A and B are shown apart, each in its own frame.
Chain A
């Protein structure tokens, strides 16, 4: 049962990841420099910091495992890891 749940969560995240990739240019316009939480190919929360995003999700009673969180970098910025 747990494995099925994990498989479904991974499948959902892959779909949300693809949605972000496909719509990245649009997302850059509205969410530049922001953390976004995506569920069912829809942004359900966003914030300037991860802490603020976590608080938003807590307010909405959404567990972190249910969403795909990503950071939209600022235009013209290159992130080195």
Chain B
């Protein structure tokens, strides 16, 4: 199974793709960034809001540093992520994620432009290999 990744947003190089996110309450599709600089998968604040994740009821996780600011992480255990593979079949996985919530209006504005991040934990737990060749605009996740 091979999930093709886009290598750019505009003229900037990012690994990204579309994922379908589902909670017991809501579902939506969103752009996700594959970030090997992130050890954990982070459900963005905007996606958490859209999916009606009950942030106030979640257990505390790690402190998360984003763009120079520190946020309290909260652990959400009921997320399903679905991605489309090259052959048209879908991969759907249960995933435990961290999410964040702002404590001020400034943080609220900052966090709403942050996308959901697929971190190294997801690649490891789901046994996904990452291939990336930015020069030839070719990248994908692969599982045997």
Residues of A within 8 A of B (CB): 6-7, 9-14, 17, 21, 24-25, 28, 35, 49-51, 64-65, 68-71, 73, 78-81
Instruction: Give every chain B residue within 8 A of A13 (Cβ-Cβ).
Output: 18, 20, 29-30
Q: Interface SS of chain B: helix, strand, loop or mixed?
A: strand
Q: B28 near A81 (CB under 8 angstroms)?
A: no
Residues A80 and B67 in contact in the complex (CB < 8 Å), given A10-B82, A13-B20: yes
Q: What 5 pairs across the A-B complex have the smallest Cβ distances? A: A13-B29, A50-B112, A10-B20, A17-B18, A24-B10
> Is B31 part of the binding interface, using a Cβ–Cβ cutoff of 8 Å?
yes
B60 at the interface (CB under 8 A from A): no
A77 CB → nearest B CB, Å = 9
- A14 B31 Cβ-Cβ under 8 A: no
Name the A residues within 8 Å of B18 (CB-CB): 10, 13-14, 17, 68
Contact A81 B46 (CB under 8 A): no
